[in-house]
Amino acid sequence: MWEKAPENGEVEAAWVISPDGKGHRLFALGLDAFSQSGDYRDCGMRLGRLAADAPTIAVDLLAFSSPNPNAIGALCEGIALGNFKPATRSDQTLRLILPKDVDQTAYEQAAQTGFIIAHWTNWARDLVERPAADLWPEALAQEIAKRAANLGISAEIWDETRMEAEGFGATLAVGRGADAAPRVVILRCGSGDRPIGLAGKGVTFDTGGLNLKRDPQEIGYMKSDMAGAVAVAGALFAAVELNKAPDVLAVLPMAENMPSGRAMRPGDRVRHPDNSTTEVMDTDSEGRLLLADALSWLNRQKVRALIDVGTLSDGGGVGPEFWGTWSNTANLAARLTSAGDDAGDPGWHLPLRNERGTLLRSRIANRSNVASDEPDSGQIAACYLSQFVGQTEWAHIDNGSTAWLLRDTGPWPEGATGAPLRALTQFLCNEKP
C-alpha cells in the first residue's frame, strides 16, 4: 500500500514510525548521486528489511534536484521486496513526499509499477517458501487459476484423464509415485494466433524419486522446485496488471516426485505430446521431463517463441546472482538478458552445444534424460530440451542457483527470490502484442 504524503509533510528522508510510536531515522545518504535504477532498488530493499515491522515508511524527495521517476519506482519496488516475510501479509504504507514542481502523475505511475512487480514477486516467493505439505499440485494449480481469474486470464486445470489425452506421459510418470496427483495448468492471455509460449516446472516437492537425493541440506529446500512455474505465472500476472502483456500461452506441469511402489523407475520409457519417447535413466532429473511435455505440446500450438523456466541444475554455474539461459537464437537470449538487466534480475547467456545431445542416446527411446557417461549439467539439460522445440525460437532458463538462496546475498535474504519473475515481466512488457 502507498499514498502521497500531504504537501506540508515534515518527514525527513526515510523516517520510520515504529509500532511503539517512537520514531527512528534511517538515513539513505547519496541517493541523488545514484546513476542506475538498480542502486535505488537495492537501497530500497535494505530500507525495507530494516523497517519491515514499521506501519509507515516516508521517503522525502524534496532535496532531490531532479528525481527520476523510474529510479523512484525502483526504490518503491525495493522497499516492498525488502519488506517481505513468508506467510505474512504486509499492511505497511509508503508515503512519498515530492517536490511541488514535478509531474506528480509520473511518480505515482512509477511507484505503482514498482509495487505491482514487487507484489507478484512476493506472491511467488511466498508460494516457494510454503511447506510442500500445504502446496501439493492441485493446491498450487487452484491458487494460480484463482489469481488468473481475478485478472481476466483464461485458466484450465487438467486432471490425469485430460493429461493422458493430451500426451503428457512424462508428467504422469513423474507424479505416479506420490499420493497427490499431478496437474497441468493452461493460461491463455490475448486472442492472437501467434502467442509467446511459456513453460514452467512445477515440482511441488522433489525427493529425487527412486534415485533418492543423498544431501540432507539439498532435500530440505526441495519445496522450492516449483519456482519455475510460479515465476512464469507471476510474470504473466504482473504484465497483465501493467496493461503491457502480449499474447501468451503458458503451460505449467505440476507433480510431486516421490518414491513408492508405483514410482517411475530408472530404465522406464515415457511418451511426450509429440509422440516421441524418453528413457528415464535418472528419476532425479525429472524437471526436464515435465518441461519436455510442455514444450512439445506448445510447439504444436504454433507459438511464435518458446521460453521454459525450471530449477534443473545450478543455473549453469554462474552463481546466486545470475540465472543461466541457453537458446537456439542469439536474439531471443539477448532480449531476455537485456530485460533481466533492466529489471535488476540478471541472467547470463551460455552457449548451446548441440553436439552434446549425442550423449543422450538411448537404445529403446528417442533419447535418454541424462548422459550415460558424463555428470549432469545445465548444458546437458538444455540440449535435452532443445529436441522438443523444432525450428521455433526458444530459450531455456535455469533458475536453480537464483530461485532459492542458501545465505544472504547482497540485499536479498536467505530463501526464495522469485527469480526470474521480474526479468520475464520486463521481457513480456517489451514484446509486441
- Residues 157 and 141: their CA atoms lie apart, in Å, by 7
Before 411, cis peptide (omega within 30)? Answer: no
Grid coordinates representing 402 are 537464483
Enter the pTM of the model: 0.92
pLDDT tens by residue, the chain, 433 residues: 434 443 433 333 343 333 344 444 444 445 555 557 788 899 889 888 888 877 777 776 766 666 788 888 998 999 999 999 998 877 777 777 777 777 888 988 999 999 999 999 999 999 999 999 999 999 999 999 999 999 999 999 999 999 999 999 999 999 999 999 999 999 999 988 899 999 999 999 999 999 999 988 889 999 999 999 999 999 999 999 999 999 999 999 999 999 999 999 999 999 999 999 999 999 999 999 999 999 999 999 999 999 999 999 977 778 899 999 999 999 999 999 999 999 999 999 999 988 777 899 999 999 999 998 888 899 999 999 999 999 999 999 999 999 999 999 999 999 999 999 999 999 999 998 8
- 277-280 and 183-189 beta bridge pairing: unpaired
Task: Say how many C-beta atoms besides its own lie within 10 A of residue 18's C-beta.
Answer: 13
The answer to whether 89 is a known catalytic residue is no
Q: Are residues 220 and 182 in the same domain?
A: yes
- Residues 362 and 329: their CA atoms lie apart, in Å, by 27
Q: Are residues 116 and 232 in the same domain?
A: no
Q: Look at residue 93 in the predicted model and tell me its pLDDT.
A: 76
Side-chain-facing half-sphere of 407: CA atoms under 13 Å: 1
Cα 334 to the chain's mean position, in Å? 18
Grid coordinates representing 307 are 521460453
Q: Are 97 and 75 in contact (CB under 8 A)?
A: no
The CA dihedral of 367, 368, 369, 371, to the nearest 10 degrees, is: -120
Q: Are residues 285 and 206 in the same domain?
A: yes
Task: Give SS3 for 202.
Answer: strand
Q: Look at residue 355 in the predicted model and tell me its pLDDT.
A: 78
Q: Are 231 and 142 in contact (CB under 8 A)?
A: no
Q: Are residues 394 and 251 in the same domain?
A: yes
- Residues 125 and 231: their CA atoms lie apart, in Å, by 9
Q: Which of 98, 122, 146 is the last residue of a domain?
A: 122
Q: Are residues 52 and 201 in the same domain?
A: no
What CATH number is associated with residue 171?
A: 3.40.630.10
Q: Are residues 247 and 304 in the same domain?
A: yes
Grid coordinates representing 318 are 554462474
Domain count, the chain: 2
Q: Are residues 135 and 118 in the same domain?
A: no
Q: Which long-range contacts (CB under 8 A, 24 or more apart) does 26-33 make?
A: 26/50, 26/51, 31/64, 31/75, 32/63, 32/64, 32/65, 32/67
- Residues 378 and 305: their CA atoms lie apart, in Å, by 21
What DSSP element (H or E) covers 305? strand 305-310
Q: Are 96 and 61 in contact (CB under 8 A)?
A: yes
Q: Are residues 114 and 215 in the same domain?
A: no
Strand order across the 367-368 sheet: 268-271, 277-280, 367-368
Spot the catalytic one: 85, 188, 194, 213.
213
If you count them, how many residues does the chain have? 433
Alpha-carbon distances, residue 275 vs 117, 176, 232, 278 (angstroms): 38, 20, 26, 10
- Residues 298 and 291: their CA atoms lie apart, in Å, by 10
Q: Which of 91, 122, 153 is the last residue of a domain?
A: 122
Q: Are residues 93 and 179 in the same domain?
A: no
The whole domain housing 283 covers: 130-430
- Residues 359 and 367: their CA atoms lie apart, in Å, by 9
Q: Are residues 230 and 362 in the same domain?
A: yes
- 154-158 and 15-17 beta bridge pairing: unpaired
Task: Say how many C-beta atoms besides its own lie within 10 A of residue 149's C-beta.
Answer: 11
Q: Are residues 112 and 139 in the same domain?
A: no
The answer to whether 146 is a known catalytic residue is no
Q: Which of 122, 151, 182 is the last residue of a domain?
A: 122
- Residues 62 and 38: their CA atoms lie apart, in Å, by 21
The sign one gets for the Cα dihedral 235, 237, 242, 246 is: positive
Spot the catalytic one: 176, 271, 288, 422.
288
Q: Are residues 112 and 202 in the same domain?
A: no
